[in-house]
Amino acid sequence: MKAPPFAYAAPSTIAEALALLAAHEDAKVLAGGQSLMPALNLRLAAPSVLVDINGIAELSEVSLTPTELRLGALVRHKRIGTDAAIAGAVPLLGLACPHIAHGPIRSRGTIGGSLSHADPAAEWPAVCLAADAVMEIRGPAGPRHVPAEAFSLGVFTTALRPGELLAAIRFPVARGRAGFAEVARRHGDFAMVGAAVTVELGPDGRCADARVVLFGASDRPIRRRAAEERLRGQAPGAALLREAASLAAEGLDPPSDLHASAEYRRRVAPVMVRRALADALSLPEARLAA
């Protein structure tokens, strides 16, 4: 199938893009096109205007200070996965990137596009939640900042309001360790279930802080606070990781679909959490534990 007819505009500033979005209620932002173009070709979307933001140079900027990494919304998956400074500042970004689709898609797809698209099985929304990122949004009412937890609201649904643009994502520079694990039918497919974790160890070697996030297990990435609580103040070991992983899976109500049943997702979720934690804490024996 071919996309329905649409007009095309290529602004070179954020202000021009916002004016176009304000003037055309059903306009759609075009970033990497890796989710939008298939949706147009399948006629799941029929915007009157495509606002191509690829010519807005500031949206591709990356900046790093000792405390913060800021990625423009147009930064491509590939750059995130290959830039040592980015992975050094927020290791979860480097760990998750190879799991996203395939090379050609990573060359075009953008972090802002993935976050705005809000597929519950996508890696970036989960990484942003685990890494405590904040979304920098520009819109007709001015700029605003939304924490990752309040940004993904459900399947293909975000806190973006009509006429708004996701401009950048701000990450605190990581102070601890990170781990990532997912299961997909084939490499490059969307995950059936995955886990993204961060762990900070205190000077005594105990977990000072942890964030445990599951994705593909609900309508959006979700923090598993009971697991985080279990880890806090404890010395890492295989038994602790097993307990935390099983707490992470408690009360899960995952979807059933073509890719996996709810029951499968429920069973595999704690395994993903345990593997991600074991990798973060360099405990290979805990990764294998039954």
Ligand X SMILES: Cc1cc2nc3c(=O)[nH]c(=O)nc-3n(C[C@H](O)[C@H](O)[C@H](O)COP(=O)(O)OP(=O)(O)OC[C@H]3O[C@@H](n4cnc5c(N)ncnc54)[C@H](O)[C@@H]3O)c2cc1C
Compute the least distance from the CB of residue 39 to ligand X, in Å.
7
Compute the least distance from the CB of residue 166 to ligand X, in Å.
4
Query: Which of residues 34 and 152 has its CB atom nearest to ligand X in the complex?
Result: 34
The pair of structure tokens assigned to 71 is 């990625």
Compute the least distance from the CB of residue 154 to ligand X, in Å.
15
Query: Which of residues 90 and 283 has its CB atom nearest to ligand X in the complex?
Result: 90
Whether the Cβ atoms of residue 95 and residue 179 lie closer than 8 Å to each other: yes
Question: Can you give the binding site for ligand X, defined by CB under 6 A?
Answer: 28-36, 38, 73, 100-101, 105, 109-110, 112-114, 116-117, 122-124, 160, 165-166, 189-190
Whether the Cβ atoms of residue 99 and residue 191 lie closer than 8 Å to each other: yes
Query: Which of residues 140 and 233 has its CB atom nearest to ligand X in the complex?
Result: 140
Query: Which of residues 96 and 212 has its CB atom nearest to ligand X in the complex?
Result: 96
Q: For the residues of 115-159, what is the DSSP string, one character each? A: HHHT-TT-HHHHHHHHTT-EEEEE-TT--EEEEHHHHEEETTEES
Angle between the N-to-C axes of helices 238-249 and 262-280, in degrees from 0 to 180, rounded to the nearest 10 = 150
Compute the least distance from the CB of residue 131 to ligand X, in Å.
15
Compute the least distance from the CB of residue 45 to ligand X, in Å.
7
Q: How far apart are CA 213 and CA 194, in angstroms?
A: 8
Secondary structure letter of residue 53 according to DSSP: G
Query: Which of residues 24 and 232 has its CB atom nearest to ligand X in the complex?
Result: 24
Whether the Cβ atoms of residue 130 and residue 176 lie closer than 8 Å to each other: no
Ramachandran angles phi, psi of 239, nearest 5°? -65, -40
The one-letter code for the residue type at 181 is A
